Amino acid sequence: MDTFITWFVGLFSNWGVVWKNFDYLLVGAYPQGPLGGLAMSIIMAIIGIFGAFWIGLAVGLMRLSKRRWLSWPALFYIEVIRGTPLLMVIFWFYFFAPILMGHSVPETESAIAAFIVFTGAYVAEIVRAGVQALPKGQMEAARGSGLSRTQAMTHVILPQALRNMIPSFVNQFVSLTKDTSLAMIINVNELTLSARHIYTRTMKAPMEIFLTIALLYFIICWALTAFSRKLERSMSRYQARTNER
């Protein structure tokens, strides 16, 4: 019983380490030093999803094209990226950006580039699925009313398809937020590396530190997932009505 009590009290005695370093977990050494921690994770995720959206949109549409010189490179890109671990892609950018650019590239930038290229392939599949999910009649009617294929795409198909894709985009953003933790492997000071810094410096309370950052990630991801589920529900209600004939 006594050992149980010491064990139980021990579970709560180390949280001071987390509390003292909580600002480091949130923003790193900022404003005295470089930005880090959770703020860095969120910034990388937002820039990443923004870049990935445009790449994914372009590649997704290329993939749907009837011209093989457009659809095959898109297919190749999507399949290669989806068959490769993100860690590999991060290493690719980390080691080859300097060789290609001819000068050194900051870790944060090569990590963000890796996130954009990696997530782009997944967004491309979302775009493809979203466009294909629309009834064929939409395209036919748009073409029938005299629009070109490009015009029909930009004015009729995409505005509807993109709207339906919003929940999937939110889910992809959640994945990316979790994926930003991998940037630690090339020394980007985001939330996970900040936690490791604290642990390395204090050599204390690893359970408390990693539980805390798990909770921080969880709050963000879970809130966004709940939001996307809600969106999905309200949208399916809307769609059910429009599909009634």
Out of 91, 105, 134, 170, which residue is the one contacting other proteins (CB under 8 A)?
A: 91
Between 30 and 91, whose beta carbon lies closer to other proteins?
91
Least gap, CB of 186 to other proteins (angstroms): 11
Out of 34, 73, 98, 135, which residue is the one contacting other proteins (CB under 8 A)?
A: 98
What does the per-residue mask of binding to other proteins show for 199-238, with x meaning CB under 8 A? x------xxxxxx-xx--xx--xx--x-------------
Between 82 and 163, whose beta carbon lies closer to other proteins?
82
List binders of other proteins among 29-88 (CB under 8 A). Answer: 80, 82-88
Per CB under 8 A, 7 contacts other proteins: yes
What is the DSSP annotation of the chain?
-HHHHHHHHHTTTTHHHHHHTHHHHHHBTTTTS-B-HHHHHHHHHHHHHHHHHHHHHHHHHHHH-S-HHHHHHHHHHHHHHHTS-HHHHHHHHHHHHHHHHSS---HHHHHHHHHHHHHHHHHHHHHHHHHHHS-HHHHHHHHHTT--HHHHIIIIIHHHHHHHHHHHHHHHHHHHHHHGGGGGGGT--BHHHHHHHHHHHH---HHHHHHHHHHHHHHHHHHHHHHHHHHHHHHHHHHHHHT--
List binders of other proteins among 159-188 (CB under 8 A). Answer: 174, 178-182, 184-185
Query: Which residues contact other proteins by CB under 8 A?
Result: 7, 10-11, 80, 82-88, 91-92, 95-96, 98-99, 102, 174, 178-182, 184-185, 192, 195-196, 199, 206-211, 213-214, 217-218, 221-222, 225
